[in-house]
Structures are given as structure tokens and as C-alpha cells.
Amino acid sequence: MRKGLIWTGISILVLILASVSVSNFQKNEQLKQFKASMASFKPLDFPNLDRYEFEGRLNESLILYTSDSSFDSLNPLQKRERIYPVLSPFDKAFTENRRKYEVDHDGVFPEVKVVSLDSIASYASTGILKIDGELYFNEDLSKYREYDKTPTQNNDNSSSNNTDAAVYRYIMNQFDIVTNYGENYVPEIHDPIVLQRAASHFSMSISEVDRIFIEKAMNQ
């Protein structure tokens, strides 16, 4: 009787270990597929690109190399605006693939890094801009905004309208990214995240981007 119980216990332990082994194998395969899918991303929206590569445990860091000296002449805000058209679809691909392959990001977020002749600039989906090791926050970038340092001329409503439209498009795109196109939308969770990203991206206050979004949404 006792011998039979021992063998039963051993059998159960073997089954548990086998199940854990299968589970780990599946996770490793999913991780491989996730990384392969991320590595297939093509940064089509960056001008004068020489080459690119991926780094990080999840291929979450996209490195762009350019010998175009014009990038180095851009101010921090302009560099961020140059990087964003690549970061946005890269962040979207990261989110979609993470759900598809059930990969835990473990606090890792996508970033695009540009290595040019004289500088290294990176912009992450968290809204953090770093240039040559220096971090830039909203208040640092606001002085580079043309409409902040140039008086309004000729009743330039078109400039304001263009900015509002850009804010609205950005917010809608971010909603698609963080909610999987509305599938997982929870207002109290996702609204603050998206508004904060928009405020950071455009160097505006949260209340300002919220006002713009509401006004544009009502006019759609």
C-alpha cells in the first residue's frame, strides 16, 4: 500500500514537471515568434535612412542610422517630430504582437533611437525624449514651439486649426494603440494615459489637449 502511494506521488511529480516543461517550451516559442515579427518591422517614414537594427530582449528598441547632417541641425522638438512617425507604428506593432503571442512586456516599452553623425536621439512610447544622454520634458520643449515664440500674424487661424487637427489625430491613434482599437477600452484607465501622452508630445497642458479633442470630436 505504502509502495503504491510512493509510486503515485512520483507519477504526479513527473506529470507536473512535464507540464512545466511544455509550458516553458511554448513560452519560448511564442517569444521567438514575437521577436521575429518585431524584426520584420520596416521604418518607412524616416528620411535618408542608411540602415536599421533591433536591440533589447523583445526587440523593443529600433535603432536608425543616418548620415544625413540635416538631422543634427534640428532642435529637440523637431527631432522628436521627426522620430514620432516611426515610433507610432512601431509602438502599435509592439502592442498588437504582444497580445497575439501573449508575451509579457515586463515593463519594457518601445523606443526609436536615431544615431546620426553628431548625436544620438531616442524617443520612447512613454513620452521620454533623450538626446546625447540629456532628458527633455514638456517645459524644456515648449520654447521650441514656433507658435510660442512667434506672434500670431495675419490672424493665423489656419495654423491653430492644423495644430488642433494634429492633436486630434494623435489622440485617436494612441487610443487605437492602448485599447487594441477600442476592444479593451476603459475610460478611467485609458483616457488619462492618452491625454498625458498627447500633452507630452505636443508640449501642452492636459486640459488643453482635452479641450481640443472634445471640440474636434463634436465637429466630426
* Same-domain status, 54 and 124: yes
Question: What are the helix (H) ranges across 52-203?
Answer: 76-100, 138-141, 146-149, 157-179, 187-202
Q: How confident is the model at residue 157, as a pLDDT?
A: 55
Q: What is the mean pLDDT of the chain?
A: 80
Specify the DSSP element, H or E, that contains 54: strand 51-55
Q: What is the pLDDT of residue 116?
A: 94
Same domain membership, residue 195 and residue 120:
no
Q: Which of 67, 102, 136 is the last residue of a domain?
A: 136
pLDDT band at 131, cuts 50/70/90?
very high
Phi, psi of 122 (to 5 degrees): -130, 145
Mean pLDDT value of segment 169-192? 84
CB 178 within 8 A of CB 190: yes
What are the pLDDT digits (tens) for 52-103?
999 998 999 999 999 988 899 889 988 988 898 888 889 889 988 888 888 8
Q: For residues 17 and 216, what is the distance between their CA atoms, to the nearest angstrom?
A: 57
217 and 173 share one domain: yes
pLDDT tier at 15, thresholds 50, 70, 90: low
Contact 122, 113 (CB under 8 A): yes
Strands in 120-124's sheet, in edge-to-edge order, are 51-55, 61-65, 111-115, 120-124, 129-131, 134-136
Across residues 138-150, what is the average pLDDT? Answer: 63
Residue 7 lies in a domain: no
Return the residue matching grid coordinates 538631422: 71
Structural domain boundaries, residue 124: 40-136
Residue 186 lies in a domain: yes
Residue 19 falls within a domain, yes or no? no
119: confidence class by pLDDT, cuts 50, 70, 90: very high
169 and 97 in a common domain: no
Q: Is residue 144 part of a domain?
A: no
Asked whether residue 5 is domain-assigned, the answer is no
